[in-house]
Amino acid sequence: MPAGMKPLEKFLKKQTTALTRAGGFVGGVADKASGGTGASRRRASLSRVVPFFRETSPESGQAREVFSPDSEDPPSWPSATGTGVVTAPNSANGSGSGSGSGSGSGGGDVRSPSLSSDEQSSEASLIMEGGGGGGGTPVHADTPENLTLAVLDSVVGKRFGHCKETLLDDFMLTHPIFLAADRLQQVLLQQFSLEGDGGGKEGEAEGERRERGGRGRGGERDGEMEGAMDGAERKQAVLTVAFRYLDTYRELLQEEGERSNSFPKELYMCAVQELTRYPELVEDVLKLQRWTEILHCPSDEEKESRKKQVRPLFRHFRRIDACLQPREAFRGSDEIFCRVYTPDHSYVTIRSRLSCRVGEILALVKEKLQYSEDQPVLPGNLILVAVTSAGEKAVFRPSDEAVFTTLGVNTHLFACEPSELDSLLPLPEEIHWTPGDSKLHDMSAEEVANQLVVFDWELFSCVHEVEFVCYVFHGEQSRWRPLNLELVLQRCSEVQHWVATEILQCQSLPKRIQLLRKFIKIAALCKQQQDLLSFLAVVLGLDNPAVSRLRLTWEGLPGKFRKQFQQFESIADPSRNHKSYRDLITSLRPPLIPFTPLLLKDLTFLHESCKTFHGELVNFEKMHKVAEMVRNIRRYRSSQLAMDTETSPSHLQTKAYVRQLQVIDNQNLLFDMSCKLEPKDT
């Protein structure tokens, strides 16, 4: 094993006990059966992707808390003129940070729980990078409704005029965290109906509420209001915010149908009634009318194409013609094909909506089994179970939704009666392997790398930027499911296991060395094309313990490739908060594909290191930092990746191969294969 692999191997060893599925498989049956939270299950699925993300094992005791969620101490969130550093109100070791409140300089630092003590000194920068004055948001902690009013004020330049665009974007990207979409719509409709200068009873009540909010926080709002908005200003501000909301969430709102269309329709009716008094609103009213048409009636072409499109889901139903098509974003209403197995490993193929509930899936399975000749007895009370290639089982609740995208690489759905749960076994092809030459030998590294990059870009482009926020802050309880983000994480795990599978299935030592060289070259080409997702997935696949222990294989690798791989490992080095990786991605210009699990780790750390609420007040500085991370994702996709349109037979063959990777994700099986290639005594 090359010397350069030791630091990462040390890190992997240190993290091994922490990389279990908290809220996932415990004692063979998942926590889903006992009511584990959706958010914990979502984050646990990430811990299986790479060692960049840490989850604490239920058996290893409670993890060190960064703050006490039950603390009643006043929050030490920064003021607009302070440092801009988000500090924890209380630390788990008893050294409270309350002294930092008000001074803007004191308080305990926020440290990543995924790092060892000797790495902590440089890690607080993750959450503090916006500090130093002027790096944060000028908005104080406030109630969700008052934050909405502050955004309206900023739109017309009454307050925060110098950063109104940033403030509006912060609010739009993060409002699902602290203000439900339905409530936001109600507030905007109420504000549109208010008279100018706070007139009438509604206006007076609004003024009193603002004053109470200011007094409750020590008069922070004193002097901020430069005068109330007149009627036209207020209505134009509401429409501006409404248009941004509709534009940001357009695809997600279209998915919801009538539920979401009622808001622009109601706002349009109110605006039409005001046209005689405020004729300057005519352009906005026309724009609002177009929005109601867009959300209510998608184009006939789009409607027809989506109606006809029934797509196999990623790996669980294979069709070559489908995998060659450009990837499109999944929506909850999309119909998919999926195989559901029975205890004897026969299966039925169902056609289902992606977002349907488990109860609906079981009803479809029952219907299919009733007409099956191989089913002599009608099925009774069925349950839906996910079975991994290692034999672990997760039982879904009937109310669970959109379970298809949460499945692991070689995880399959089984329908059985509760009494048959213990008898479920992985599919035979998942636990047995056949040695043989890889198709990869006949493909060039350039073609494979190009297809990896194109497919990764398609998957990454399908992820709505709000999915990152929903994944971390709400998990499966989110209004909008992170379906496409789940598939990106699945792809990352798949590529890692693909690398190990191809090398360990190769029996010939010279050919195995050739494969090792080819994978290092593929990683280099992915890095060159700024696909850091596949680049790091390949590097981590080569660092799989079952591969790294192949001493004879690594010794046969030319020195040039060993040195190159050591450089790649230094980029994957997690020390100093992944400084090498962060330096690399900072130096790149769009378009680029980031290492998505690390983005989610950063968002999770930010979420768990400081409170979102203290009482009724929202920590908007935290929201600003979340929005900054999402804007980075937006920047990565700000320009389009050049797509290869070649259609030669060899090109299509490589494309089909890359999009339907055959992998072994059972680590025990991979290690057994490794020991047969190079026994421990060699």
CB 500 within 8 A of CB 544: yes
Q: Is the pLDDT of residue 626 over 80?
A: yes
- Most trustworthy range by pLDDT among 34-38, 368-372, 425-429, 633-637: 633-637
Q: Tokens 């490739």 — which residue?
A: 561
Helix (H/G/I), strand (E/B), else coil: 673: helix
Supply the pLDDT for residue 599.
95
> What's the mean pLDDT in 191-196?
81
Burial 231-266, CB ≥16 within 10 A → b, else e: ebbbbbbbbbbbebbbebbeebbbbbeeebbbbbbe
Mean pLDDT of 272-300: 86
pTM of the model: 0.77
Reported confidence tier of residue 71, pLDDT bands at 50, 70, 90: very low
* Among 170-174, 406-410, 643-647, the least confident range: 643-647
Handedness of CA 671, 676, 680, 682 (dihedral sign): negative
Q: Which residue has the tokens 């811990």?
A: 47
Strand partners, 351: 337
Condensed to tens digits (0 to 9), the pLDDT of residues 536-557 reads: 999 999 999 999 999 999 999 9
Mean pLDDT across the stretch 653-671? 91
C-alpha span between 84 and 340 (Å, rounded): 52
Please count the residues of the chain: 682
CB atoms within 10 A of CB 370: 10
Asked if residues 591 and 637 have their Cβ atoms less than 8 Å apart, the reply is: yes
Instruction: Give the pLDDT mean for 526-544.
Output: 97
Q: How far is CA 618 from the centre of its chain?
A: 23
What confidence tier does 289 reach under pLDDT thresholds 50, 70, 90? very high
Greater pLDDT, 473 or 477 = 473
Tell whether the model's pLDDT for residue 29 goes beyond 90: no
Question: CA 598 to CA 46: how far, in whole Å?
Answer: 10
116: confidence class by pLDDT, cuts 50, 70, 90:
very low
User: Minimum mean pLDDT among 137-141, 248-252, 413-417, 582-586: which range?
Assistant: 137-141
User: DSSP state, 277?
Assistant: T
Q: How far is CA 672 from the centre of its chain?
A: 33
How far is residue 530's CA from residue 454's CA, in Å, rounded to a whole number? 11
Mean pLDDT of the chain: 76
At 663-674, the pLDDT tens digits run: 999 999 999 999
Read off the pLDDT of each residue in 580-604 and give the average, rounded to a whole number.
96
Residue 420 binned pLDDT confidence (cut-offs 50, 70, 90): very high
Cβ contact 461:636 at 8 Å: no
pLDDT tens per residue across span 263-285: 999 999 999 999 999 999 999 99
pLDDT of residue 372: 64
Query: Which pLDDT score is estimated for 532?
Result: 98
pLDDT band, residue 476 (cuts 50/70/90) = low
Tokens coding 437 = 């030459």
Identify whether the C-beta of residue 173 lies closer than 8 Å to the C-beta of residue 252: no
Beta-bridge partners for 531: 593
pLDDT reported for residue 139:
77
127 vs 63, 113, 669, CA distance in Å? 20, 13, 40
Cβ atoms of 142 and 120 within 8 Å: the answer is no
Q: What is the pLDDT of residues 127-136, one digit of tens each?
A: 333 333 345 5
Closest CA to 50 of 607, 571, 494, 582: 494
